[in-house]
């Protein structure tokens, strides 16, 4: 069936009807998000028809948020669908991510998580593997800024999920050195979050940052202890003087 759809779509103007059928299956039939994302990946990559992805994102963007809030199962399925597409087709999603931006400002939170998943995969799979020029660095930094912003999301589930995304970015060594200090300060703030899951993920992310610190091969515990002792003595001297 997937091959037939892939052969038919480029030759016949039927992308809208196919798109609507795919979305209907994703929204209303359990466990169809993964098979449908596999279908879309096949159509885009093997049959060179990226228009189906554009059409899918446009249809999702036109869905009223209240409909998704009321039907939580449908929104979860759509979120899984988007998240999987971001992992399978990061370059293609990058070209159409402006269509997804509308979900970042609206409920349900699961759709925000899915779009943020896509941003994380774009950073990991696209921008980490390229020699970036100024335009590329600026574009990458825009995605990282969005991920940072949602560390303060009003929903604790989103804050917790974004920390997990940052963990994967760190593990793939995709965090620019210039962002380490700012990001670390933001994560430390999350250690005081009212949500237990957020605090736990913040602690895990801090550990991940330490383990994957690009300067860690040049650091030793002995040198750090010596430096700590020296700084402690300086602090004590200042305290005594005052």
Residue 41 in any domain: the answer is yes
Phi, psi of 182 (to 5 degrees): -60, -45
**What total number of domains does the chain contain?**
1
How confident is the model at residue 9, as a pLDDT?
Answer: 78
Going by C-alpha positions, the residue among 174, 178, 199 that lies closest to residue 187 is: 199
Could you report the per-residue pLDDT of 52-95, keeping only the tens digit for each? 999 999 999 998 888 888 888 999 999 999 999 999 999 999 99
**Where is pLDDT greater, at 224 or 112?**
112
Task: Give the number of other CB atoms < 10 A from CB of residue 185.
Answer: 9
**Where is pLDDT greater, at 213 or 107?**
107
The rounded Cα 143 to chain-centroid distance in angstroms is 9
Residue 103 in any domain: the answer is yes
**Where is pLDDT greater, at 2 or 233?**
233
Domain extent for 15: 1-127
Residue 198 in any domain: the answer is no
Q: Which two tokens stand for residue 58?
A: 């446009």
**Dihedral sign (CA 129, 135, 138, 140):** negative
Q: Poorest-confidence range of 1-5, 16-20, 106-110, 200-204?
A: 1-5
Rounded distance between C-alpha atoms, residue 25 and residue 33, angstroms:
8
How confident is the model at residue 193, as a pLDDT?
Answer: 96
Residue 162 in any domain: the answer is no
**Where is pLDDT greater, at 223 or 203?**
203
Task: Give the number of other CB atoms < 10 A from CB of residue 205.
Answer: 24
Rounded distance between C-alpha atoms, residue 211 and residue 222, angstroms:
17
- Write down the pTM of the prediction: 0.86
How confident is the model at residue 66, as a pLDDT?
Answer: 86
Q: Any idea which residue has 């992992």 for tokens? A: 87
Residue 165 in any domain: the answer is no
Residue 158 in any domain: the answer is no
């Amino acid at each position: 069936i997937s091959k037939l759809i892939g052969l038919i779509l480029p030759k016949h103007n039927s992308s809208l009807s196919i798109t609507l059928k795919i979305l209907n299956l994703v929204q209303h039939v359990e466990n169809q998000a993964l098979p449908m994302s596999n279908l879309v990946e096949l159509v885009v990559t093997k049959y060179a028809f990226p228009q189906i992805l554009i059409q899918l994102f446009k249809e999702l963007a036109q869905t009223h948020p209240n409909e998704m809030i009321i039907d939580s199962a449908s929104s979860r399925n759509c979120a899984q669908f988007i998240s999987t597409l971001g992992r399978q087709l990061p370059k293609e999603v990058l070209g159409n991510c402006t269509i997804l931006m509308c979900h970042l400002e609206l409920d349900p939170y699961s759709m925000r998580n899915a779009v943020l998943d896509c941003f994380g995969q774009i950073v990991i799979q696209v921008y980490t593997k390229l020699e970036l020029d100024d335009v590329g660095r600026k574009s990458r930094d825009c995605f990282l800024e969005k991920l940072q912003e949602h560390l303060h999301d009003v929903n604790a589930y989103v804050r917790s999920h974004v920390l997990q995304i940052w963990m994967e970015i760190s593990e793939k060594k995709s965090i620019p050195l210039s962002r380490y200090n700012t990001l670390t300060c933001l994560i430390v703030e999350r250690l005081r979050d009212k949500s237990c899951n957020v605090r736990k993920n913040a602690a895990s992310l801090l550990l991940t940052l330490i383990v994957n610190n690009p300067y860690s091969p040049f650091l030793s515990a002995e040198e750090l202890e010596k430096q700590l002792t020296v700084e402690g003595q300086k602090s004590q001297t200042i305290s005594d003087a005052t």
